[in-house]
Structure 1
Amino acid sequence: MNNLVPVVLCGGSGTRMWPLSRSNYPKQFLNLINEGHSTFQTTLMRMPEQCQPSILVCNENHRFILAEQMSEITQTAQNIILEPECKNTAAAITLAALTASQNGDNPILFVTPADHLITGEANFHHILQKAMKLAENNKLVTIGVKPDHVETGYGYIQQGSEIS
């Protein structure tokens, strides 16, 4: 997995979980699930050790929170892209892709939000390895879970046959 570059999207306005989160302290930096760590910190700690350094895309207003939370889990400065204003997911991923390919490499990007709950780390790493193999063969891979309730705010993935 040494060609895998994790891209962690740390954007978000902080308004969905008000009053817990606010624009100056959005939900990805809150300790909501893992006692002692935010979902952002948990996302970084979940990355396989053999990956390349992560690219973090964050609103510049949250740069100090990001730096503080990285130091709490002894993560050193990585590739951090500070957005002067939020331009949503496509712009963030484009900036990350341009950053990852600056030195002429053609890395595989693993794009993930900073606020997802993922349990079963060993299974997650196994799925990530399978996804890597597909991506190495020029496949676009999406990893998802079956929803347990209807949520109109999200799109849905139509599951196809398993690829071996």
Structure 2
Amino acid sequence: MEHDLAWLKSMIATRAQEMWEHEQRPYYISYVATDSRKNGVDYKDLIKPLKLRQWAVTNEIDGFKIVEHPRHKAKVGYVPITAEFSFEDVDPAEEAIAGAAANEGASELKEAGKSRTPVAFGPVKTRRATLQFLETLSKLDDNELNQITIPVGTIVRLLNG
């Protein structure tokens, strides 16, 4: 199979449809790196010279629309074009889960000498937010918990600030 822009759009459409059908939430563009890597593809090679967010908002994917969080610039995702979705309707626990998934690539950025950590979000707030996130996870049922995968290294880094 050739990995080109058509493949990337198809992969995003498939994953966005699965996400919507199973969880009624957007397929965040932060998931694209992991999903394309699972297929042995670096999406950056396909969208050069654009950044993923730039590419996403300027390229249509048939049957899907882009949704952007009004306050969190990094929260950009795809939902079916017919879906009624608003970030104001999103449960804070779901936002925390999406945020954790978006941070999975943080170690790769750190190794490359870059950082995704906001300047105003210090170690104490990070630790508190991580603990609140874990407490929220403890309230989920077994089915929901089985769908969540967070590397232990990510949790430890968050706790250590």
Output the TM-score relative to the length of structure 2: 0.29
More relative contact order, 1 or 2 (CA 8 Å, 6+ apart): 1
Higher strand share: 1
As a proportion of its length, which structure holds more helix? 2
TM-score for both structures, normalised by structure 1: 0.29
